[in-house]
Structure 1
Amino acid sequence: MSQLAILEAFTELQDPRRRAGQPHNLAVCLALFTLAIAAGNKGFLAIGDWIASYRHQLIDLFKPPKNRLPSYSTIRRSLLHYRLRAIFCLFCTFFWHSTPSGDYVGQCLHC
């Protein structure tokens, strides 16, 4: 099976964290954030609760090393390194795709 589309959307981002500070893949952190927000969670504590609630399904989906998912605080710290516009444009890449006829489902106004 090929890589998940949501992970591909975030792979082009450079990880500014130092090597010792990278126990979790940045693309996984951003993918979890995106999915949690799309599921209606507001705030990092709610995101942490959502990750805990769906832990087994998320581990099966993302297959993280050692079967460990990042905490809400790891996800929060990962987001602190980027400007909102850069992350928003990657969200656009994932959520708004063209249809077979060439029409777009949505349009990013920032990219």
Structure 2
Amino acid sequence: MSEIEIIKAFAGLKDPRRRAGQRHNLPLSLALFTLAIAAGNKGFLAIGDWISSYREPLIDLFQPPKNRLPSYSTVRRALLHVDYEDYSVCLSKFFNVQPNTGETVGLDGKVLKGS
């Protein structure tokens, strides 16, 4: 696996998944999820389509073991078990975002739903 900064950003996260049957490591799954969301994909099927569409460039970039990328369901399962606070801390460090104490973001239902 290549030493890309976004992979390093998630390397310290505890992987809550069982070791049996794991093909893809957590940092790779989180990196692909983060990049897919940054590319404007909403939902796991769209993320899976994005991973499939850019399969060769992503393999060249990340150099995963056996040239295999996780599917959308693997990314989804990894996200279901990850600690979101730890993920957000890693993400804020990666993007060098320092939230102020007590800072909140005001969103309404239409923004959250995307309409």
Q: TM-score under structure 1 normalisation?
A: 0.83
Q: Which residue is 1:73 aligned to?
A: 73
Q: Which moved more, 1:16-25 or 1:65-74?
A: 16-25
Q: Tell me which stretches of 4 or more aligned residues in structure 1 moved more than 3 Å.
A: none
Rounded Cα–Cα distance in structure 2 between residues aligned with 1:74 and 1:81: 11
**Post-superposition CA distance 1:26-69 (Å, at most 9, x none):** 10000000000011111100000100110000000111111110
Q: CA RMSD in A?
A: 1.5
Work out whether residues 16 and 82 of structure 2, in 8 Å CA contact, stay in contact via their aligned partners in 1: no
Taking every aligned residue pair, what percent have the same amino acid on both sides?
65
CA positional deviation for 1:109: 4.8
The one of the two structures with greater contact order (alpha-carbon pairs below 8 A, sep at least 6) is 2
Aligned length: 100
Q: Is residue 107 of structure 1 aligned with residue 111 of structure 2?
A: no
Structure 2: 5+ residue stretches without partners: 102-115
